[in-house]
Structure 1
Amino acid sequence: MTDNVHNKQDILEKYREAGKILKTVRTEAVEMVKVGNSLLQVADFIENRTIELGGRPAFPCNISRNQEAAHATPKIGDTDVFGKDMVKLDLGVHVDGYVADSAVTVDLSGNSDIKKAAEEALAAAIELAKPGVSTGELGASIEDSIRSNGLNPIINLTGHGLSQYEAHDDPSVPNRHVEGGAILKEGDVLAIEPFATDGVGTVHDGNWAEIYSLIRKKPVRLPAVRNVLKQVEEYRELPFAKRWLKSDKLDFVLLQLEKTGIIRPYPVLLESSGGLVAQAEHTIIVTQDGCEITTK
């Protein structure tokens, strides 16, 4: 083997190791999602267990409920508990920056048909994934599968590529019919993530955010801002949670960093008609004649 091939295999092994850690953490965390249990305790467990097993969180654990589709994570001191909710757990793990991304819906609401539709759509897209297939074809299979269950895909959310220290990279993997798209090739690493809903099938930004990411480095003057920026830079380009940071002026500091274009917020995404949302997601590596699921 050439050094280049060795290096490629080493990288794929890191993707696999991240996926293996994620699978363990996800399996354990699902058992904690019960009516009356604390969201913050589940999030803390997921993030701490990831580190315990030798990985790092690739982004804050998303615990999105009901009409929340994505980007919900507990706040500092959060006292919320699970009710009869449709709960999405979206987890990210990285090993040396190589990311595994997977989501599962835990239905406490009695609407298991929506959860099942998301899972079937994910299975349909994974079955199709191989070199030469387009992301547009994957999107068509997702949309067809969800609509065959009498539900709607969320058309303005997509799956995505993964690369080192990039939890969302090209190509995007649509959840609907689109013409063309990127052509899959061997070695591509993708997160495929259908969202199914009994609502209209679009999301919009909510008016709050607990997740941010660094978008550019700039010098800052105030010591409190410098202190938080130093903490933020430890996460590189990967998203981080407000509750991961320490400052007695945290709201003020984050606002300053946002205003100066150093960080960006990720508002909670809400289904536009208030519909229930289910999500299913796995990370795949495209192989010579199909794909390997790293997170299953």
Structure 2
Amino acid sequence: MKDEIRDNYTEAGTLASAILKKGRGMVTVGASLLDVVEGIEQMVVDEGAGLAFPLNVSFNEAAAHDTAYAGDERVFAAGDLIKIDLGVHLDGYIADTATTVNLGDHADLVSASEQALAEAIRAVRPGVTTGELGGIIQQTIEAKGFKPIANLTGHGLGQFQIHTQPSIPNIRLIGGTPLVEGMVIAIEPFATTGSGRVNDEQRIEILQQIGNHPVRMPAARRVLEDISDRNGMPFARRWITDQKRDLALNALIRAGVCYGYPVLHDQPGSMVSQHEHTLIVTEEGSFVTTA
């Protein structure tokens, strides 16, 4: 890995870590979700960095892909378990990190995903397979009395790419991809009191351009112009201010130009915790950019 690239990954990770620590302090009972999301995203911009994806803030049984929407009136309440997932990039080199804020009596569940992440990081070195990492994550979470979420994974990172190979499972798998020196990966265990699998909600707040073919609707063309500086990275519905935004986005999804990420949740009444770090695999182990 070139020094310049490593420096960008490292600086992005340092920024992401500092901003996440500040941001988690904003998640208090009675605080506005929209204010917190916009405040944390603005911190990234103020530091001269870019958002690799809209800030994910997921409540309770929701695990991923939720964020504030325009006019969102949700507030944090006593008893909530809040996941914050932040992506920061410098010149497209991404730091992806997440933590869980406990506003209730969920300390053991929070600890389960946090310890699973720590144990997996300790095991990272060239030659270790992603299946072995999944086994470590599963064993750690189950030892705490909870379930890992089987259909969510960690992932590789590339320039302007938030999900590349290899996938890093949260359950034990035979085989898997061997890690090699220079790989950039995000490990993100999820622990749940529920079923251990997430399903799609109907609501979609985060989207990503995946195609370039022409579209007829003028509003859809305007949206594509608005997101052209994203370089294919995800964006939030609330970032689009066009009056025909929803019609345009639906048209882009139908045309296969954009993909919508549904909010992902375990069964109602369950609770999900998440922790995540970005790592560079080194000759003897790993360097955690977001520590």
Pairwise TM-score range, normalised by the shorter structure: over 0.9
Contact 2:97 2:277 in 1 (8 A): yes
Instruction: Name the aligned partner's letter for residue 96 of structure 1.
Output: D
Q: Alignment partner for residue 72 of structure 1, among 63, 66, 73? A: 66
Contact 1:209 1:267 in 2 (8 A): yes
| Equivalent position of 1:183 in the other structure | 178
1:78-117 equivalence runs, <5 A: 78-84=72-78, 85-117=80-112
Instruction: Name the aligned partner's letter for residue 16 of structure 1.
Output: T
Matched, 1:254 2:249: yes
Deviation track 1:270-289 (CA, whole Å, cap 9, x = no partner) reads 11354100000000011110
Q: Work out the CA distance in 1 between the residues paired with 2:104 and 2:56.
A: 18
Unaligned runs of 5+ in 2: none
Contact 2:96 2:278 in 1 (8 A): yes
TM-score by length of 1: 0.96
| Equivalent position of 2:9 in the other structure | 15
1:106-255 equivalence runs, <5 A: 106-255=101-250
Unaligned runs of 5+ in 1: none
Contact 1:214 1:233 in 2 (8 A): no
- Counterpart secondary structure, 1:200: coil
Contact 1:203 1:272 in 2 (8 A): yes
1:29-68 equivalence runs, <5 A: 29-68=23-62
Contact 2:198 2:267 in 1 (8 A): yes
Q: Percent identity?
A: 47
Instruction: Name the aligned partner's letter for residue 188 of structure 1.
Output: M
Q: Work out the CA distance in 1 between the residues paired with 2:285 and 2:227.
A: 38
TM-aligned CA deviation for residue 109 of structure 1: 1.9
Contact 1:200 1:273 in 2 (8 A): no
TM-score by length of 2: 0.98
Contact 1:114 1:278 in 2 (8 A): yes
Instruction: Name the aligned partner's letter for residue 10 of structure 1.
Output: E
Q: Work out the CA distance in 2 between the residues paired with 1:172 and 1:274.
A: 28
Q: Work out the CA distance in 2 between the residues paired with 1:168 and 1:33.
A: 27
Q: Work out the CA distance in 2 between the residues paired with 1:233 and 1:272.
A: 37
- Counterpart secondary structure, 1:212: strand
Instruction: Name the aligned partner's letter for residue 75 of structure 2.
Output: V
Q: Work out the CA distance in 2 between the residues paired with 1:211 and 1:273.
A: 22
TM-aligned CA deviation for residue 81 of structure 1: 0.6
Two-structure CA RMSD over aligned residues (Å): 0.9
Q: Work out the CA distance in 2 between the residues paired with 1:272 and 1:179.
A: 28
Q: Work out the CA distance in 2 between the residues paired with 1:110 and 1:47.
A: 28
Contact 2:147 2:193 in 1 (8 A): yes
Contact 2:19 2:43 in 1 (8 A): yes
| Equivalent position of 2:288 in the other structure | 293
Deviation track 1:100-154 (CA, whole Å, cap 9, x = no partner) reads 0000000102111100000000000000001111111100000000000011000
